Structure 1
Amino acid sequence: MRQELMSLPKGLAEDVSRNLVMVAKLIDEDPEQAYAYSRIALRLASRVAAVREAAGFAAYATQKYSEALAEFRAARRMTGSTELWPVMADCERGLGRPERALAMAGEPEVQKLDKAGQVEMRLVAAGARRDMGQLDAAIVTLQSPELASSAVHPWTARLRYAYADALLAAEREAEAREWFAKALEADKDGSTDASDRLAELDGVEFVEVEEIDDADANEQDEAAAETGEADRGGEGDEDVVVDAAADDTDVADEVAPESDDKR
């Protein structure tokens, strides 16, 4: 990407770079904001492939699939790379055209993908099968040497999870539980919710503890304050009684000598 930006004037390259950095930073936590930054970069440098690709991913993250597909196609024309082929096929799914996604899964471009890209293409094809109501075909699509391998790769957890989810949809619960467990074993960075799905299958329920809101807390504080004042008030009354008793004693002491004198 840096090399591509070097073709731009220095000031422009810096502006584009800053926007692309914000796209990468926000695309997961705030995709709408990332999309806004991508549009700025696109307006500044639409002839840079990295900018078109970033704009495509930002549009994809906000489910603007038609726009994303157009940007990915533009980036592919500029670079000649097939790297974006799986996500382009997934855009077709997003547009309600799963049959096109399946057609792309059978194109020669798939053979040019690296292993990660081929696994991603398999996931997209299986998703397209499910979109078309072909659940058994989706399960078969996911069955592959990559799924059977005990080695763990960045895509392993997602592949196992997709297989488990398809099995569960087919009401093969015991097998689904086994593969959710295998997905959890491979999911080192928490990219799936395999642990939650596994707990659900095991009948584990999580109870959320509700926090007392500020209003309730204030009411409790006021009630406690009133109780404290009442307690202090009671203590004051006792003091008054004790003081009164002491005064009576003093009076008695003063009167007693007068009685002796009279006798």
Structure 2
Amino acid sequence: MIPERIEPRDLDKGARAELKTLSKENADWVARHLVAASEFLDDDPELAHQHATSAARRAGRIAVVRETLAITAYATGDFSLALRELRTYRRISGSNDQLPLMVDSERGVGRPDRALEVGRAVDRAELPVAVQVSLAIAMSGARLDLGQPELALAELEIPQLDPDRAYSYSPALFSAYAEVLEELGRTAEAAEWRARTARAEAALGAPAEAELVEIFEIEEEGEPEPEAQAEPAAESEPATESEPNHDDPGAVLEDDVAAVIAEGEALDAESNDAESNVAESNEAEAHDTESNEGGRDGAVPSAH
């Protein structure tokens, strides 16, 4: 069950906007499950995945719902399901922001060559800077999987690998660079980059603060305070009037991944995805299941 303290308005403002194609009651119910999935992701990924699955049963054509299901599947180690849901999310949303997770999921199913192909299929210059960095780290990991440490190091040598400044993504990038240097036997350099990782984390402060992309000087002292190079941070939702708190309409947190997969396959067929082999009978069965569970309130894919 969803904890009573979780309210629909706890969901990010942008995500809530995507749920407007649903009825008010259904949108609130789905929003609460998405918030629960986010809250439990780190400490109990299986429970987070159950919440995401429950949301997908009612709103499987909403991009943020499929994205959440993909992330929780990845967290539980179900890389095949994560890949399926990430592809569906990308078709619905038109966004490549989860490309690094797709690359890592390809690695998870044992296809590092395919992971590199997926990562190279998109112009990195068109991605947000933080996504570029995450992609570089994932691509470096795929190179290591293939026994190519020199190329793994080259994947990380991007403009954002700046030892004198720290952004929200810098600790992860510095740490990945140190690991590859260690793999190459360059232990002294690896130690230097680990020290930079620690200084970057200290400069950025708490995780909540690290979401900001302000620049921090981490080695030089006495410098003028640098300008913030702000990537737009996620806007927090302003306080609004309290919304009615609807009870969970009889839903149980059962593992209904099969129904979600069936819908994902139906979406694959509708978009003529080359990887889809779904028959019309499976699509009809999936929609029958949806109608038995309360329907999806006529939700349609949203494009971004």
Q: Which of 92, 104, 108 is residue 78 of structure 1 equivalent to? A: 92
Contact 1:76 1:82 in 2 (8 A): yes
Give RMSD over aligned pairs.
1.4
**For 2:144, what is the secondary structure of its paired residue?**
helix
Alignment correspondent of 1:32: 46
**For 2:87, what is the secondary structure of its paired residue?**
helix
User: Residue type of the partner of 2:84?
Assistant: A
Alignment correspondent of 2:56: 42
Whole-angstrom CA distance in 2 between matches of 1:27 and 1:128: 25
User: Runs (4+) of structure 1 moved beyond 6 Å?
Assistant: none
2:137 matches 1:123 = yes
Alignment correspondent of 1:88: 102
User: Residue type of the partner of 1:114?
Assistant: P
Q: Which of 16, 24, 30 is residue 2 of structure 1 equivalent to? A: 16
Alignment correspondent of 1:55: 69
Higher-RCO chain (CA-CA 8 Å, sequence separation at least 6): 2
- CA offsets 1:2-60 (integer angstroms, 9 cap, x no match): 11111101111111011001001000111011011111111111111111000000001
Alignment correspondent of 2:79: 65
Of Structure 1 and Structure 2, the greater helix share is in: 1
2:143 matches 1:160 = no
Q: Which of 99, 114, 118 is residue 100 of structure 1 equivalent to? A: 114
User: Residue type of the partner of 1:7?
Assistant: T
Q: What pairs with 1:190-205 in structure 2 (closer than 5 Å)?
A: none
Alignment correspondent of 2:192: 178
Whole-angstrom CA distance in 2 between matches of 1:69 and 1:48: 17
Question: What are the ranges of 5 or more consecutive residues in structure 2 without an aligned counterpart?
Answer: 1-14, 208-304
Whole-angstrom CA distance in 2 between matches of 1:5 and 1:144: 37
Deviation, structure 1 residue 83: 1.0
Whole-angstrom CA distance in 2 between matches of 1:50 and 1:78: 9
Deviation, structure 1 residue 105: 2.3
Q: Which of 139, 150, 154 is residue 164 of structure 2 equivalent to? A: 150
Whole-angstrom CA distance in 2 between matches of 1:100 and 1:111: 21
Whole-angstrom CA distance in 1 between matches of 2:141 and 2:20: 39
User: Residue type of the partner of 1:72?
Assistant: L
Whole-angstrom CA distance in 2 between matches of 1:140 and 1:74: 31
Contact 1:82 1:112 in 2 (8 A): no
In structure 2, do the counterparts of structure 1 residues 29 and 93 end up closer, same or farther at CA, with 3 Å as the change threshold?
A: same
Whole-angstrom CA distance in 1 between matches of 2:191 and 2:206: 18
Between the two proteins, what is the percent identity of the paired residues?
Answer: 39
Question: What are the ranges of 5 or more consecutive residues in structure 1 without an aligned counterpart?
Answer: 192-263
TM-score for the superposition, normalised by structure 1 = 0.70
Based on CA coordinates, which of the two structures has the bigger radius of gyration? 1
Contact 1:52 1:75 in 2 (8 A): yes
Deviation, structure 1 residue 109: 4.1
Q: Number of residues paired by the alignment? A: 191
TM-score for the superposition, normalised by structure 2 = 0.61
Alignment correspondent of 2:153: 139
- Which piece of structure 1 moves more, 17-26 or 168-177? 168-177
Deviation, structure 1 residue 148: 2.9
